[in-house]
Amino acid sequence: MIAAIVLAAGLSRRMGVPKMVLPWKNTTVIGQVVDVLAQAGINEMVVVTGGAHEKVEAALEGLPVKLVFNPRYPEDEMAYSLQAGLLALSEEVEATLVALGDQPQIECTVVQAIMAAYQQSKAALIVPSYKMRRGHPWLIVRSLWPEVQILPSGRTLRDVLNAQAEQINYLQVDTPSILQDLDTPEDYRCSGYNRHV
């Protein structure tokens, strides 16, 4: 079974407001990410919260997700959030997608392509790539989760990918959406959803 961990614990410093709960289409930024993952066929989802977690959790009320709070969120390290998310997955999960909570541009077809690539290859790591740039969501199998759990302080998820470079199966995609996220008010304005920033 393939699950998904959505990293949504950031402090939104550059945005200036809690970006996960900004309006997006008929939901919120984080709600859109969860909706797309569900549409793609992901049945087990963990959302890791931190900054503005009460608002994020309220925005996700009623959605099919397991909420996990990362108490180390002020350190602003995604690795800590992924570590917390991995611990919350059920034993049946053999691989998980790692998605960004501030990436509402995520496309169902890309998620499904990553899942299909895993089913066909059983590769340890599957990373979408657009014009030679790695993006999200990427997939990591259970056998590599300990590599994330023992990641020393100061190291990043990029370090995990670089250390396992020979095991990465790159999935070439024709959309830049895998690279797009929302960090600044300008990012949000350019996305067309600029009602509150």
Per-residue pLDDT of 118-131, as tens digits, reads: 999 999 999 999 99
Q: What is the model's pLDDT at position 193?
A: 59
Predicted confidence band at 197 (pLDDT cuts at 50, 70, 90)?
very low
Note whether residue 155 is domain-resident. yes
Instruction: Encode pLDDT of 29-73 as tens digits.
Output: 999 999 999 999 999 999 999 999 999 999 999 999 999 999 998
Per-residue pLDDT, 8: 96
Count of the separate structural domains present in the chain: 1
In a domain? residue 197 = no
Domain presence at residue 165: yes
Tell me the CATH number at 83: 3.90.550.10
Mean pLDDT value across residues 75-97: 94
CA separation for the pair 93, 4 (Å, rounded) = 10
Task: Please report whether residue 104 resides in a domain.
Answer: yes
Residue-number span of the structural domain to which 180 is assigned: 2-191
Other beta carbons within 10 Å of 189:
11
Report the C-alpha gap between 68 and 78 in whole angstroms.
14
Full-model pTM: 0.92
